[in-house]
Amino acid sequence: MERKNAWKKYPEGKREEVFAFGEKYKKFISDCKTERECVTELIAQAKAAGFEDLKEVIASGRAVKTGDKLYAENMGKLLALFVIGKQPLEQGMNILGAHIDSPRLDLKQVPLYEDTELALLDTHYYGGVKKYQWVALPLALHGVIVKKDGTEITVNIGEKEDDPVFGVSDLLIHLSGEQLEKKASKVIEGENLDVLVGSIPFETEEDEKKAKENVKANVLNILKEQYNIEEDDFLSAEIEVVPAGKARDYGFDRSMVMGYGHDDRVCAYSSFAAIAETEVCEKTSVCLLVDKEEIGSVGATGMESQFFAYMVAELFQSMGGYDQIKFNRAMSNSKVLSSDVSAAYDPLYASVMEKKNCAYFGNGLVFNKYTGSRGKSGSNDASPEYMAELRRIMDGNEVAFQTSELGKVDQGGGGTIAYILANYNMSVIDSGVAVLNMHAPWEIISKVDLYEAKRGYGAFLREA
C-alpha cells in the first residue's frame, strides 16, 4: 500500500499551525516531567478552557447536564476530563486514554549516603530502561516531599540555567576492558545507578573534625538551608531523577522534537488538546490520563484502578440517579482510542522491523490493531468493524494515518492500557505517535505526526 507523507499536506508557507502546536507541546514536556507536574499543568489549562471540578459540582448539589465541561483528579497523578454530550450517558462515551508516566530513576526511601568523600543518592529504576543509557548525562530532580506536619515541598532542581545538575558516572574507556565484554543488560547494574550530588566536607568545629560522612553532612546542611529538607523527610518523598534540559527542535528542517517523556506524553498532550477544543458532541467526550502504565497499570492511579468507573457512576448519580444496568450499558457502548506511542522505523535498525507493517515518521497517526508479544500475548485485538469505522472517520476528516505492528513477530513486543478498558466490553484500539529512541532519556517524534494525532483525536470525539 502507498504511504503518503503528511508533510505534503502542509507545503512551505502553510505549516504555521503544525509548528505552533509543536511549540506548545515542547513547552509542556519541558515543564512537565512527572505525573504530578502533568496533572497540575493540565488542570490549569482545563480551567482556562472552561472545565469545572466534578467533585466540587457534586458537592454543590448541582445536576450535571449536557454541555458541562468537567474534570476529576485522583491523588495528583490521574486526570479524567468529560464534555457531557447530547445523548444519554448510557449510549456510551468516546474516550481518549493515555498515560503520563515515563521511564526514569526514582530515589529510594533512604537514598543519601557517602562513599570515599563523595555524596550520592541511591535510586531504583522505573519502567523498562536500557540502564547504560542513563550514565554520563545531566540529570534533574523533580518531585514532592511531604513533611510529618503535612507541609508539601515541591522539588525541581536542575532545570534553571543557574541550577546545579546531577548525574550517574560511567567507567572511563581506559579501564573498561572487562566492562565492554559484558552483555548490554549487565554493562551498568541497577544498583549502580546512583546519582552523584556532592564532594565538599562540612566545616566542623575542631573537636568534630574526625566525624564521619562530612560530605553527606554538608549536603544535608544545604538541603536544610535552601529547601527546608531533613534527612528523615526522604521517607515521605516521591522524587524522580529525569534528564535535565528542555525539549529541542531536531534536524536542520526543525521537523522533529527531541525531548524526555514522549512516551506517552505526546499522546496525552494531543488527547488533552483535542478535548479542550471540543464543543458538545452527540456522545460524551472523555480524556483519561493515567499513571503507572510503564509498570503494569497497577495501583490507585493506574488504569487498573476503579477511579474512572467511580467518576462515571458519580455522573449518573448527578444526572438523575445511578443505575447499574445503565452504567453497564454506558461502558459497553463506549469506544476508545488507547493513545500510546508506536515504534518508528529506523533505517539503522531495519532488521527488527517488517517494512509493510511498521510506523514511519511523517505518515501521521498510528493505529495498532494489536500489540502484545509473539503470539499476540497480552494484547487487545481490535475488531475489523471498529477499524473500518475509524478509517471512515479519518479519511472523512483528511487525517493522515497509518497502521503498524511493534516490530517483527518474534522480535519482542509491548503492552498498553487497551486491554483494561476492553474488560468493560468497550471497542478499543491502540493509536498514537511514532517514536524513535523509545524509553531512552531523549526520544524523538515528528511534529506533523503530533499535529495529525490531535486532529485525529478530535475527529474521533466528534464522530465515533
Q: What is the mean pLDDT of residues 364-379?
A: 82
pLDDT band at 207 (very low <50, low <70, confident <90, very high): very low
C-alpha cell at 420: 483494561
The per-residue pLDDT for range 36-90, each reduced to its tens digit, is 999 999 999 999 999 999 999 999 999 999 999 999 999 999 999 999 999 999 9
Which among 321, 407, 307, 391 has a CA at the least distance from the CA of 356?
407
pLDDT of 29 reads 97
pLDDT of 353 reads 86
- Write down the residue that cell numbers 522539588 correspond to: 155
Q: What is the mean pLDDT of residues 92-107?
A: 97
Q: Name 77's Cβ contacts closer than 8 Å, sequence gap at least 6.
A: 35, 36, 39, 100, 101, 291, 301
The per-residue pLDDT for range 332-356, each reduced to its tens digit, is 999 999 999 999 999 999 998 888 9
pLDDT of 375 reads 73
- Write down the residue that cell numbers 512551505 correspond to: 12
The per-residue pLDDT for range 228-287, each reduced to its tens digit, is 999 999 999 999 999 999 999 999 999 999 999 999 999 999 999 999 999 999 999 999
C-alpha cell at 138: 545531566
Instruction: Check whether 34 has a pLDDT greater than 50.
Output: yes
C-alpha cell at 281: 458532541
The per-residue pLDDT for range 19-29, each reduced to its tens digit, is 999 999 999 99
Q: Name 226's Cβ contacts closer than 8 Å, sequence gap at least 6.
A: none
Cα distance between residue 81 and residue 461, in whole Å: 13
Instruction: Check whether 127 has a pLDDT greater than 60.
Output: yes
Cα distance between residue 84 and residue 281, in whole Å: 8
Give me the phi and psi of 336, to 5 degrees please. Answer: -135, 135
Q: How far is CA 59 from the centre of its chain?
A: 30
pLDDT band at 210 (very low <50, low <70, confident <90, very high): low
Q: What is the mean pLDDT of residues 356-373?
A: 89
| Cα 414–Cα 454–Cα 68 angle in degrees, nearest 5 | 110
DSSP state of 376: T
Q: Across-strand partners of 228?
A: none
pLDDT of 2 reads 74
C-alpha cell at 266: 505526546
pLDDT band at 208 (very low <50, low <70, confident <90, very high): low
Average pLDDT of the chain? Answer: 94
Instruction: Check whether 16 has a pLDDT greater than 70.
Output: yes
pLDDT band at 416 (very low <50, low <70, confident <90, very high): confident
Cα distance between residue 31 and residue 40, in whole Å: 11
pLDDT of 209 reads 55
Q: Across-strand partners of 31?
A: none
Order of strands across the sheet that contains 52-53:
52-53, 69-74, 78-83, 284-290, 93-99, 335-339, 427-432, 365-368, 401-403
C-alpha cell at 450: 503530533
C-alpha cell at 402: 497509518
Q: What is the mean pLDDT of residues 323-337?
A: 96
pLDDT of 150 reads 93
Instruction: Check whether 211 has a pLDDT greater than 70.
Output: no
Q: What is the 3-state secondary structure (H, E, C) of 137-205?
A: CCEEEEEEEECCCCCEEEEEECCCCCCCCEECCCCCHHHCCCHHHCCHHHHCCHHHCCEEEECCCCCCC
- Residue 312: CA count within 13 A, CB half-sphere: 29
Instruction: Check whether 205 has a pLDDT greater than 70.
Output: no
**135 vs 212, residue with greater confidence:** 135
Q: What is the mean pLDDT of residues 160-177?
A: 96
Cα distance between residue 182 and residue 6, in whole Å: 43
pLDDT of 415 reads 75
The strand ranges marked E within 178-318 are 195-198, 237-243, 248-250, 256-259, 284-290
pLDDT band at 408 (very low <50, low <70, confident <90, very high): confident
